[in-house]
């Protein structure tokens, strides 16, 4: 799989809420016929009326698709009703709702959770808050806390690998380890880059912007959760016992974290 080089990589923007004081914001949700051009026809209608801030669209089962978007109206007199009349004129729109912000605050009251296209439910957490929770575990329990985080990472890594094994089959999943690596960054965990392989079968994985040490607090710990995660997922997907050691960590003053991953001796 090719790396992105021409387009600079960014964090995916999510829209559980936006706040823009003094602006006239709208949340538009529509069920569309899942046919080519349906979304384009709605966007064409709104083109001169709404500046879209962020949108998401996806197919549902049964020939329907969802489009959900936050946008700022370009007119000071735009209302939920006036936008609704406009959207109603599209014959590819089945159902829709328009909700206006109050005092500049717009909240996504539509989505009832998050799931991947393959049906795995996810939870969104503030990464620095999660890292801060890990700080607290080690502050309370010391090396026992590090062991707990390591064990939890191992468990989650194994569970995560089993999703891919179920989806792809064990042999294909094993051959796709490198191709699956960007799932880690797309999920907001950090940016992994595989460095030198030395000795054969053992390699160093650099993780930039690692979530586990992102709290910014000075706590004497390492990224034990991720160390366990790499061991658990590697062991499950490769079918041999994998060992992982963190040789560099931002919590020790290094610019990024590095993990040496290879067969367990
Ligand atoms: Zn680290």
Judgement on whether residues 50 and 176 belong to the same structural domain of the protein: no
H/E stretch holding 258 reads strand 257-263
The pLDDT confidence band at residue 38, using thresholds 50, 70 and 90, is very high
Distance 71 CA to ligand 1 centre (A): 38
| Distance in angstroms (rounded) separating the CA atoms of residues 135 and 216 | 10
Task: List the CATH number of the domain containing 172.
Answer: 3.30.1380.20
Distance 139 CA to ligand 1 centre (A): 16
Judgement on whether residues 137 and 106 belong to the same structural domain of the protein: no
Distance 213 CA to ligand 1 centre (A): 6
Judgement on whether residues 135 and 89 belong to the same structural domain of the protein: no
User: Does the reported pTM lie above 0.85?
Assistant: yes
Say if 156 falls within a structural domain.
Answer: yes
Go through 42-53 and write b for each residue having 16 or more CB atoms within 10 A of its CB, e for each that does not: bbebbeeebeeb
Q: Domain count of the chain?
A: 2
Give the per-residue pLDDT at 99: 97
Judgement on whether residues 55 and 89 belong to the same structural domain of the protein: yes
Count how many residues are written for the chain: 265
Distance 212 CA to ligand 1 centre (A): 7
Give the per-residue pLDDT at 95: 94
Judgement on whether residues 104 and 140 belong to the same structural domain of the protein: no
Nearest CA-CA partner of 225 in 122, 130, 148, 123: 148
Judgement on whether residues 103 and 181 belong to the same structural domain of the protein: no
Q: Check pLDDT > 80 for residue 1.
A: no
**What average pLDDT does range 27-32 have in this prediction?**
96
Say if 84 falls within a structural domain.
Answer: yes
Tell me the pLDDT tens digit for each residue of 54-108: 999 999 989 999 999 999 999 999 999 999 999 999 889 999 999 999 999 999 9
Give the per-residue pLDDT at 46: 95
Q: How far is CA 230 from CA 10, 62, 181, 192, 207, in A?
A: 24, 38, 11, 12, 12
Judgement on whether residues 145 and 259 belong to the same structural domain of the protein: yes
Estimate to the nearest angstrom the gap between the alpha carbon of 217 and the chain centroid.
23
Q: Check pLDDT > 80 for residue 211.
A: yes
Provide, rounded to the nearest whole percent, the portion of the chain with pLDDT above 70: 100
| Distance in angstroms (rounded) separating the CA atoms of residues 236 and 170 | 9
Distance 263 CA to ligand 1 centre (A): 21
Provide, rounded to the nearest whole percent, the portion of the chain with pLDDT above 90: 90
Judgement on whether residues 181 and 233 belong to the same structural domain of the protein: yes
**What average pLDDT does range 163-169 have in this prediction?**
95
Tell me the pLDDT tens digit for each residue of 132-163: 999 999 999 999 999 999 999 999 999 999 99
The pLDDT confidence band at residue 36, using thresholds 50, 70 and 90, is very high
Say if 9 falls within a structural domain.
Answer: no
Q: Mark the residues whose beta carbon lies below 5 A from ion ligand 1.
A: 213, 223, 249, 257
The pLDDT confidence band at residue 5, using thresholds 50, 70 and 90, is confident
Judgement on whether residues 83 and 141 belong to the same structural domain of the protein: no
Say if 3 falls within a structural domain.
Answer: no
Judgement on whether residues 22 and 138 belong to the same structural domain of the protein: no
**DSSP SS3 for 208:** strand
Distance 199 CA to ligand 1 centre (A): 22
**DSSP SS3 for 219:** coil
Q: Check pLDDT > 90 for residue 217.
A: no
Tell me the β-bridge partners of 258. 206, 248
Give the per-residue pLDDT at 4: 86
Give the per-residue pLDDT at 3: 82
Q: How far is CA 71 from CA 26, 46, 56, 125, 204, in A?
A: 5, 10, 12, 24, 44
Q: Hunting for tokens 């030198």 — which residue is that?
A: 196
Estimate to the nearest angstrom the gap between the alpha carbon of 207 and the chain centroid.
16
Distance 214 CA to ligand 1 centre (A): 9
Task: List the CATH number of the domain containing 105.
Answer: 3.30.70.260
Say if 28 falls within a structural domain.
Answer: yes
The alpha-helical segments, DSSP class H, found in 66-142 are 80-88, 127-141
User: Residue 34 is part of which domain span?
Assistant: 17-112
Judgement on whether residues 153 and 106 belong to the same structural domain of the protein: no
The pLDDT confidence band at residue 223, using thresholds 50, 70 and 90, is very high
Distance 252 CA to ligand 1 centre (A): 8
Q: Check pLDDT > 90 for residue 201.
A: no
Residue-averaged pLDDT of the chain: 94
**What average pLDDT does range 192-206 have in this prediction?**
90
Distance 181 CA to ligand 1 centre (A): 18
């Amino acid at each position: 799989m090719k790396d992105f080089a021409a387009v600079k990589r960014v964090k995916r923007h999510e829209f559980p809420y936006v706040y823009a004081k003094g602006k006239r914001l709208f949340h538009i949700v529509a069920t569309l016929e899942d046919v080519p051009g349906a979304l384009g026809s709605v966007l064409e209608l709104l083109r001169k009326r709404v500046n879209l801030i962020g949108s998401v669209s996806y197919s549902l089962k049964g020939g329907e698709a969802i489009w959900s978007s936050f946008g700022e109206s370009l007119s000071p007199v735009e209302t939920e009703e006036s936008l609704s009349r406009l959207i109603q004129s599209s014959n590819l729109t089945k159902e829709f709702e328009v909700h206006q912000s109050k005092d500049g605050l717009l909240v996504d009251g539509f989505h009832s959770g998050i799931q991947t296209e393959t049906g795995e439910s996810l939870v969104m957490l503030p990464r620095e808050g999660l890292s801060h929770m890990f700080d607290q575990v080690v502050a309370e329990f010391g090396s026992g806390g590090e062991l707990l985080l390591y064990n939890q990472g191992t468990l989650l890594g194994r569970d995560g690998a089993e999703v891919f094994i179920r989806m792809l089959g064990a042999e294909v999943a094993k051959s796709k380890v490198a191709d699956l690596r960007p799932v880690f960054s797309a999920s907001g965990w950090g940016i992994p880059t595989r460095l030198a392989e030395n000795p054969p079968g053992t390699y160093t994985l650099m993780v930039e912007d690692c979530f586990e040490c992102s709290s910014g607090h000075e706590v004497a710990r390492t990224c034990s959760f991720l160390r366990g995660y790499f061991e658990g997922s590697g062991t499950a997907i490769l079918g041999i016992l994998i060992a992982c050691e963190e040789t560099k960590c931002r919590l020790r003053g290094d610019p990024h974290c590095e993990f040496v991953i290879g067969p367990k001796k």
